[in-house]
Structure 1
Amino acid sequence: MSRILVVDDEEAVRALVARGLSLDGHDCLTAADGAEALDILIAEKGRFDLLLTDIRMPLMDGIALALAAKQEFPDLTIMLMTGYAEQRERAKSLEAIVSEVMTKPFAIADLRATVMRVIERSIG
C-alpha cells in the first residue's frame, strides 16, 4: 500500500505503531530519533508516502525533522504525534507543512483511520 517512516524514541510505541499500520498493508520503516530518520530519508531519496513522527525526542525533535524533511523533500506528507500539550501548540505553526497532529495516547484504530485519511488526501 503505502511506504511510511515511523519515528519515535520509545521503542514500544515505535513497534506498536509500525505493527498497527502494517495491518493495513503499509510498508513501515522505523527510526529512533529525528537524526536517524533524516539519514533514512536522504538515503531513500525521500521515497515515502508519509513521515509519521513523534515531536518530543532527543537529538532532533519531530518539528526540526519536519522542517528539514520538507525543505529536502517538498512533496513529502508529514504527520506528527505528541503526548504534550505545549508540543501540540508548537506544531500549530507548522500547519502549512504538517497534515495532521495526533494526540497520545491514541487507539491504534484511530491512528490507522487517520493515516489512511491523510494518505488519501495527499494522493487525491
Structure 2
Amino acid sequence: MARILLVDDEASVRGFLKRGLELDGHDVETAGDGAEGLDTLTAARGAFDLLLTDVRMPLMDGIALAQEAAAQWPDLVILIMTGYSDQHERAQGLTNLAGILLKPFTLGELRAHVAQALG
C-alpha cells in the first residue's frame, strides 16, 4: 500500500498508531519529534506517500515539520493530528495538507482519514 512517516513524541501512541496502520498493509516508519522526522524525510529524499504528524512536540513541532516538508517535497501528502483546535490556522497555508485530525480519535477514524488522504 503506502509508505507512511508517523511522527509523534509519545512512544505508546506511536506504537499503537503504527500497528493500526500496518493492519491496512502500509509500511510505517516512525520518528519521535519533528527534527527526527525531518532527518528521516531527508535521508529518504522525501520518498514517503504520507507524512502523519502530531503538532505539539519538542525540538520541532509538527506544523514546522509540515511546512519544511511541503517546501522540500511538494508532492508529499500531509495529515496533521492535534488536540488543539487553534492549530488549524497555522496549518492552513500548506498546499498539500490532506486534513487535520482532532484528538481524541479512534483507530478507525485515523485509518479512514489516512485512506481518504491517500485516495
> TM tier, shorter chain?
over 0.9
- Write out aligned runs for 1:19-58 (5 A): 19-58=19-58
Measured in 2, the distance between the counterparts of 1:87 and 1:45 equals: 27
Task: Give me the CA root mean square deviation.
Answer: 1.1
The answer on whether the counterparts of 1:5 and 1:52 sit within 8 Å (CA) in structure 2 is yes
Runs of at least 5 residues in structure 1 that lack an aligned partner in the other structure = none
**Once the 2 structures are TM-superposed, how far is the Cα of residue 97 of structure 1 from its aligned partner?**
2.9
Measured in 2, the distance between the counterparts of 1:108 and 1:90 equals: 25
**Once the 2 structures are TM-superposed, how far is the Cα of residue 87 of structure 1 from its aligned partner?**
2.1
Per the normalisation by structure 1, the TM-score is 0.91
Matched residue, 2:118: 119
Post-superposition Cα deviations, 1:69-107, rounded to whole Å, max 9, x if no partner, equal 01111110000000112223432x335231110001100
Task: List, as ranges, runs of 4+ consecutive aligned residues in structure 1 with deviation greater than 6 Å.
Answer: none
Runs of at least 5 residues in structure 2 that lack an aligned partner in the other structure = none
The answer on whether the counterparts of 1:9 and 1:33 sit within 8 Å (CA) in structure 2 is yes
Identify if the C-alpha distance between structure 1 residues 12 and 2 changes in structure 2 by more than 3 Å, giving closer, same or farther. same
Per the normalisation by structure 2, the TM-score is 0.95
Name the amino acid aligned to 1:84.
Y
Give aligned pairs, total.
Answer: 119
Matched residue, 1:62: 62
Post-superposition Cα deviations, 1:45-81, rounded to whole Å, max 9, x if no partner, equal 1110000000111110011001100111111000000
The percentage of counterpart residues that share the same residue type is 56
Measured in 2, the distance between the counterparts of 1:57 and 1:80 equals: 12
The answer on whether the counterparts of 2:75 and 2:96 sit within 8 Å (CA) in structure 1 is no
| 1:16 maps onto 2:48 in alignment | no
Matched residue, 2:104: 105
